[in-house]
Amino acid sequence: MPSLDPPNHPLAAILRDAFTSQLEAGEVDLVLSEHDTTFEIQADEWTLRLEGWPMTAAFIALDEEPPSLPERQAVLDAALDAPHLAGVRRANLLLHNAIAAALEASGDQLSILLAQAIASPDAAGEIGEDD
């Protein structure tokens, strides 16, 4: 059964640090899934799943995922507002680019878009915006 009270795991600590304000405001939840090293950041419109320690897999899921890539990109841009995207970027930085690498390795187009957005240190615009 998933838990909303993650243990004192290093990944949980990093995610709590990266998403402090969103967690305190109730905008996201940090959920430990059925496996001791699978964590999810859950928001109203998206879920970021991170597996393994060290991280072995990651993907982003939207509650409503349109069929075309441009539509998915637009929905992803709208779903991950600036504070949420900043939290993912901070977690990625604290994990030395492990989230971006795992998202990229997933092969999922939506996850790759997010990987490109968070891996770029100067990416300040929308997820699909060119640097």
The 10s digit of each residue's pLDDT in 47-67 is 999 999 999 999 999 998 899
CA distances from 43 to 23, 39, 81 (A): 10, 13, 11
Three-state secondary-structure class, residue 106: coil
Q: Tell whether 126 is covered by a domain.
A: no
Domain that holds residue 77: 10-119
Q: Tell whether 5 is covered by a domain.
A: no
Question: So what's the pLDDT on residue 5?
Answer: 56
Total number of domains constituting the chain:
1
The 10s digit of each residue's pLDDT in 1-26 is 344 555 678 999 999 999 999 999 99
Q: Tell whether 32 is covered by a domain.
A: yes
How far does Cα 13 stand from its chain's mean position? Answer: 15
Q: How far apart are CA 80 and CA 84, in angstroms?
A: 5
Strand boundaries in the chain, DSSP class E = 29-32, 38-42, 46-51, 57-62
Q: Tell whether 4 is covered by a domain.
A: no
The 10s digit of each residue's pLDDT in 59-116 is 999 998 899 989 999 999 999 999 999 999 999 999 999 999 999 999 999 999 999 9
pTM for this model (two decimals): 0.85
